[in-house]
Amino acid sequence: MLRALRGRNYQLFFGGQLISLIGNFLTATAMAWMVFRLATEAGHHQQAGRWLGVVGFATQFPLFLIAPFAGVWIDRIDRRRLLVLTQALATVQSLSLAALAFTHIEYWQVVALAAFQGLINAFDIPARQAFLVQIVADREDLPNAIALNSSMVHAARLIGPAAAGFLIYYFGEKVCFLIDGISYLAVIAALLAMRLAPMPPRPISRGILAELTEGARYVWGFTPIRAVLMLMATVSLTVTPAFLTLAPIFADALSGQGRGSQALGWIMASSGLGALIGAIRLARRRSVLGLGRVIAGAAISYSIALALFGVLGAIGGSGGLMLILAMVVIGISGYAMITTFASANTVIQTLSDDDKRGRVMSFFSMAFMGMTPFGALLAGYAADKWMGGGVVGSSRVLWICAAIAVGSAAMFAAQLPALRAIVRPVYVRKGIIREVARGIQTATSAVEGQRD
């Protein structure tokens, strides 16, 4: 299971990324809690959802704008130099947050720095995925490297939020930002220490817009890919951003004695643990057959689990039992989440033509993460403006989003017989059955690379 770590370049990549990703999740958790705290201290406790929604929108909206173009650009430039630049800019972003938090930070500054990080991620996320192929010397080790990368992301997602909860409680959010800023130095050092063969230049025969137009026509004209992307876009617009945006409000309601930040850390860590288990299970799967049913079933389970989490949040209570139940439910949702998106990623990657895969995956990035900022903004505004505010309003938003996602998954399930008739000849022509294990491991890592 560790054979990819025999390569020096991957050892450097793995170590640097693990340190940095833990820092990333420290900052993500600390930023969410700080926005909730600032809203409360300003006397806008009932409007905290709206504040959180705006920050969530600012963080990921740049990805929606740039993702269709980033994939084309990344194929034309040196990926290591690009990653060094993105990591350096991310260092500046995190240390700026820390400096402001140590003195006096205002809400508009958080929004501006969140948007700056979103702009960085729009280039960094697809570049890291493409760079992984370049640093694994033996292509036979590539599936293992991708599976290890996915496990690394989930391990960081398990450690980071839990550590953030305690650091925030005892030292404040500023320490999380400072640690994150320093952690990027590990990635930069690892990148500079790698020994890489130069990549041959990619011939450029057409303009970016022409290539994007061709990719868009291919995605929309191929019914199975279009159906999967539509489901992913719906889930990413509804339940996913509703939970991520409103989680601090639920954590505050489920905790006691001012320990909301710790509760938030445990809730997010539980989601990471469930996703880690789901990633390991997917990496061991040996057949692509039946993944359509898996996608539909997992999407429904994911939505129902988050709806149940909303019920527990509405009941509240600081005795500890509700928090434990909420952690269990969120662990289940994390498992279902990674199963949904990684399975969808697998289907799309295995069905796509080789010469269009990069552009197809850029559209998947838009569906998976590009819709999230709109959902975050809508969920935060709806919770405060239309649903009564506070944890009750947040719970109602989560229930409505879950109902929409379940309906979309049911519609997708109803299309499966027709989709199978289109998909099967493609699998036969491409001999994809023999490559299933590799495809699923690739997809699992790709999805988690997008969430980072």
Tokens of 317: 């209570």
State the pLDDT confidence band at 450, using cuts at 50, 70 and 90.
very low
Question: How many other C-beta atoms can be found within 10 angstroms of the C-beta atom of residue 355?
Answer: 10
pLDDT digits (tens, 9 = 90+) for 69-108: 776 677 667 778 888 999 999 999 999 999 998 988 888 8
Q: Tell me how far CA of residue 431 lies from CA of 269, 334, 446, in angstroms.
A: 39, 32, 22
Percent of the chain beyond pLDDT 70? 81
CA atoms within 13 Å, Cβ hemisphere of 377: 11
Cα–Cα distance for residue pair 32/305, rounded to 1 Å: 22
Cα–Cα distance for residue pair 319/140, rounded to 1 Å: 52
228: part of which helix (H) or strand (E)? helix 223-237
Task: Give yes or no for a contact between 419 and 224, defined as CB atoms under 8 angstroms apart.
Answer: yes
pLDDT surpasses 70 at 52: yes
pLDDT surpasses 60 at 438: no
pLDDT digits (tens, 9 = 90+) for 203-246: 555 677 777 787 788 888 888 889 999 999 999 899 988 888 88
pLDDT digits (tens, 9 = 90+) for 389-422: 778 888 899 999 999 999 999 999 999 998 888 8
pLDDT at 431: 60
Cα–Cα distance for residue pair 268/29, rounded to 1 Å: 8
pLDDT at 406: 95
pLDDT at 306: 93
| Structure-model confidence comparison of residues 147 and 42, the more confident one | 42
pTM of the model: 0.72
Cα–Cα distance for residue pair 418/422, rounded to 1 Å: 7
Q: Where are the beta strands (DSSP E) in 103-151?
A: none
With vertex at residue 360, the alpha carbon angle to CA 217 and CA 410, rounded to the nearest 5 degrees, is 90
pLDDT surpasses 70 at 314: yes
pLDDT surpasses 60 at 269: yes
Please provide the average confidence, as pLDDT, over all residues in the chain. Answer: 80
Tokens of 206: 């057409």
